[in-house]
C-alpha cells in the first residue's frame, strides 16, 4: 500500500511511541500549550486517534508566564509491567520528571523528579532495573548522552549520572533512546539541531552503559542534503517493532512552504519510515537513508486504508482533545457548548506571554478555508493564526464608540499594524473568513452573500525561520477587553482542508 507522510499532521513535534498488547501509543511535546503532551493510539501505525493528554492538571506542570517554546519539551512514553510512563522536561524550570498511569484512558500521576540535567529524557527497563537517560552533563562534568539507574517508585538516583556516548560529531546531541534487540543494545539519538541539518544517528554495544560503537553509515536517516524537497528537518526518531516482525522509525520532520522557499510554519510533524536490519546487525532506515513524502510498502496488513479528516467543526471535534489553551487557562472565562463557544475577554492580550482568553486547534495542512461567526458586546474578538505572542495575524470584530468594525491586524516581531478596517453597518455580528495557502493567508468579511477582501499576508512571517522557536501555527479563537466586561460568542466554526 501507499503511505503518505506525515502520518500525524500539524504541530505535534518530538514523537515517541510504545506498544502494549495490540495497540500502539504515541506522545508529542506541547511547550507552552495546555493540556500538555498529546496522547494518541493506533492499531495499524498509520491511522492515529487522540485519546487524551498526559499533563491535565496545573499541579503537574508549571506554565505560568513561560515564554513561547518554553515549558514542556520532548517526551518519551514507555510501557513496563502493565504501567505506562511518560518522561519529559520542563525547560523553563530545568526539571526532568516523569508521570505514570495504569489506565491509558485515565489520569496520570503527579510528577516524579529526577536529579539529572539535560533535556529529552528517556526510560529503559531491564531485569527489574530502571535506567534514566538524557542529553546533558554527567556528575563529572562530561557532556553527551547521560545515564543513571533510578528507583522507579521515587525517582531517586541509584548510581551516579555517567556520560555514555558523545554522538557521531554533529551539533546538539539530543533525543537519546536505548533498545535491546537480539541481545545487542542500540542507542539512538538526534544530532544537527531540529532544523535543516537534523539527523538520526545511532551506536550499539553489549552493555546498557556501553561502550558504544557508532554505526559506520551515520546518519542513518536525514533529509539534510535534499535541497528543493518538501520534507525537511528529519530527526528525533523512535524505533518500534510491529506484530509481524517489521521495524519502523517514527520521527519528526517539517514541510517547507514551497520547493524553493525554505520556510515552515505548520510546525514539526510526525513522520514514518521503514527500518531493515542487515545480517551484520546494523539497521538502515527510510529510502536510502531519507524520508519520503509517500512510499509503497507491503508491511502494513492488507485491507488497512490510511484515513484523513478534511473538516474540523465545533460539532466533530472534542473540546478536551483537539483544542488547547495558552498556558494555564482561567476556566471561568470559557463556556463550551456543543455547537457554540462563549469567551469572556480580559485585559490580557495575544501579545503577552500570559494566559489570554484563547482557544485553539492546530493547523494541519497548508490549503484551508477557516470561517466563523463572531458577535461581541464590547472589546475585541476574532480568529488568529498564531505562532507566538510576537507573530500572529488577527481577523477580528471590535467595538469603537457606539459602533463596530472588522479589522485585519498583522503582528510581526515589533511591528503591530492594523492594515484594514471595515465599518459594520448591521450590528455586532460578523462572519469572518481566512483562506490559507502554503505561502499566504487571505482575509475576508462575509456580508450579505458577498465577501469583502481585507487583503493578505505572507505565511513566511509566521514561520520558525522568522519567529524562531519550536512550535507551529494554531488557529485560535480569542477575546480581549480593557475595563468593561466582554462576552464574545463564536458559532459555525469550520476549518476545511482543500
Secondary structure (3-state) at 354: coil
Active site residue 448: no
In the chain, ranges of CATH 2.115.10.20 domains? 2-296
Beta carbons within 10 angstroms of residue 276's beta carbon: 12
Write out the three cell numbers for 277: 536490519
Check 174, 191, 230, 394 and give the catalytic one: 174
**pTM here?**
0.97
What phi and psi values does residue 209 have, to the nearest 5 degrees?
Answer: -100, 10
CB atoms near residue 224 (< 10 Å): 18
Tens digit of each residue's pLDDT (9 = 90 or more) over 312-340 = 999 999 999 999 999 999 999 999 998 99
Instruction: Read off the pLDDT of residues 144-199 as tens digits, 9 standing for 90 and up.
Output: 999 999 999 999 999 999 999 999 999 999 999 999 999 999 999 999 999 999 99
Query: What pLDDT does residue 338 have?
Result: 86
- Average pLDDT in the chain: 97
> Is 322 annotated in the active site?
no
Q: For residue 465, give the H/E element and its range.
A: helix 464-467
- State yes or no: pLDDT of 483 exceeds 90: no
* Domain 311-497: CATH architecture, name and number where available: Sandwich (2.60)
Q: What percent of the chain has pLDDT over 90?
A: 96
**Composition of the chain by helix, strand, coil, percent to 5:** 5, 55, 45
Q: Which of 155, 13, 25 is nearest to 96 (CA)?
A: 155
Task: Kindly name the residue from 14, 269, 380, 388 that is annotated as catalytic.
Answer: 14
Averaged pLDDT, 250-261:
97
Proportion of the chain above pLDDT 70, given as a percent: 100
Confirm if 326 and 469 have CB atoms less than 8 A apart: no
What is d(CA 26, CA 9) in angstroms, rounded to the nearest whole number?
14
pLDDT range class, residue 45, cuts 50, 70, 90: very high
As annotated, the residues of the chain forming the CATH 2.60.120.200 domain(s) are: 311-497
2-296 under CATH 2.60.40.10, yes or no: no
Beta-bridge partners for 384 = 394, 476
Amino acid at each position: 500500500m501507499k503511505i503518505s507522510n506525515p502520518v500525524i499532521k500539524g504541530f505535534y513535534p518530538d514523537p515517541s511511541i510504545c506498544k502494549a498488547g495490540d495497540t500502539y501509543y504515541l506522545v508529542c511535546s506541547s511547550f507552552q500549550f495546555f493540556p500538555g503532551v498529546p496522547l494518541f493510539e493506533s492499531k495499524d501505525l498509520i491511522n492515529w486517534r487522540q485519546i487524551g493528554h498526559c499533563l491535565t492538571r496545573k499541579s503537574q506542570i508549571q506554565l505560568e508566564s513561560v515564554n513561547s517554546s518554553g515549558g514542556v519539551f520532548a517526551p518519551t512514553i514507555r510501557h513496563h509491567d502493565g504501567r505506562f510512563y511518560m518522561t519529559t522536561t520542563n525547560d523553563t524550570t530545568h526539571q526532568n520528571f516523569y508521570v505514570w498511569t495504569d489506565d491509558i484512558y485515565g489520569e496520570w500521576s503527579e510528577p516524579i523528579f529526577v536529579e539529572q540535567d539535560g533535556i529529552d529524557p528517556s526510560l529503559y527497563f531491564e531485569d527489574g532495573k530502571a535506567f534514566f537517560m538524557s542529553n546533558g552533563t554527567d556528575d563529572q562534568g562530561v557532556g553527551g548522552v547521560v545515564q543513571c539507574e533510578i528507583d522507579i517508585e521515587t525517582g531517586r538516583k541509584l548510581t551516579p549520572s555517567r556520560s555514555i556516548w558523545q554522538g557521531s560529531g554533529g551539533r546538539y546531541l539530543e533525543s537519546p533512546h536505548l533498545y535491546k534487540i537480539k541481545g545487542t543494545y542500540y542507542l539512538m539519538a538526534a544530532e544537527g539541531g531540529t532544523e535543516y541539518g537534523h539527523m538520526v544517528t545511532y551506536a550499539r554495544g553489549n552493555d546498557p552503559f556501553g561502550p558504544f560503537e557508532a554505526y559506520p553509515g551515520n546518519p542513518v536517516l536525514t533529509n539534510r542534503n535534499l535541497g528543493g524537497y518538501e520534507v525537511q528537518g528529519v530527526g528525533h526518531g523512535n524505533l518500534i517493532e510491529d506484530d509481524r516482525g517489521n521495524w519502523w522509525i517514527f520521527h519528526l520532520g517539517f514541510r517547507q512552504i514551497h520547493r524553493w522557499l525554505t520556510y515552515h510554519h505548520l510546525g514539526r510533524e510526525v513522520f514514518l519510515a521503514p527500518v531493515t536490519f542487515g545480517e551484520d546487525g546494523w539497521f538502515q532506515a527510510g529510502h536510502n537513508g531519507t524520508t519520503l513524502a509517500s512510499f509503497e510498502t507491503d508491511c502494513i496488513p492488507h485491507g488497512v486504508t490510511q484515513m484523513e479528516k478534511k473538516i474540523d467543526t465545533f460539532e466533530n471535534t472534542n473540546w478536551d482533545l483537539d483544542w488547547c489553551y495558552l498556558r494555564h487557562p482561567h476556566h471561568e472565562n470559557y463556556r463550551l457548548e456543543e455547537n457554540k463557544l462563549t469567551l469572556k475577554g480580559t485585559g490580557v492580550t495575544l501579545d503577552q506571554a500570559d494566559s489570554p482568553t484563547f482557544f485553539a486547534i492546530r493547523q494541519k495542512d497548508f490549503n484551508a478555508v477557516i470561517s466563523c461567526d463572531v458577535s461581541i458586546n464590547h472589546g475585541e474578538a476574532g480568529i488568529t493564526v498564531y505562532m507566538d505572542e510576537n507573530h500572529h495575524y488577527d481577523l477580528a470584530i471590535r467595538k469603537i464608540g457606539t459602533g463596530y468594525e472588522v479589522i485585519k491586524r498583522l503582528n510581526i516581531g515589533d511591528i503591530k499594524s492594523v492594515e484594514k478596517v471595515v465599518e459594520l453597518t448591521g450590528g455586532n455580528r460578523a462572519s469572518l473568513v481566512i483562506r490559507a495557502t502554503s505561502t499566504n493567508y487571505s482575509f475576508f468579511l462575509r456580508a450579505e452573500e458577498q465577501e469583502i477582501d481585507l487583503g493578505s499576508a505572507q505565511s513566511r512571517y509566521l514561520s520558525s525561520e522568522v519567529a524562531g522557536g519550536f512550535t507551529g501555527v494554531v488557529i485560535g479563537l480569542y477575546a480581549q477587553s480593557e475595563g468593561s466586561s466582554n462576552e464574545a460568542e463564536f458559532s459555525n466554526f469550520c476549518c476545511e482542508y482543500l
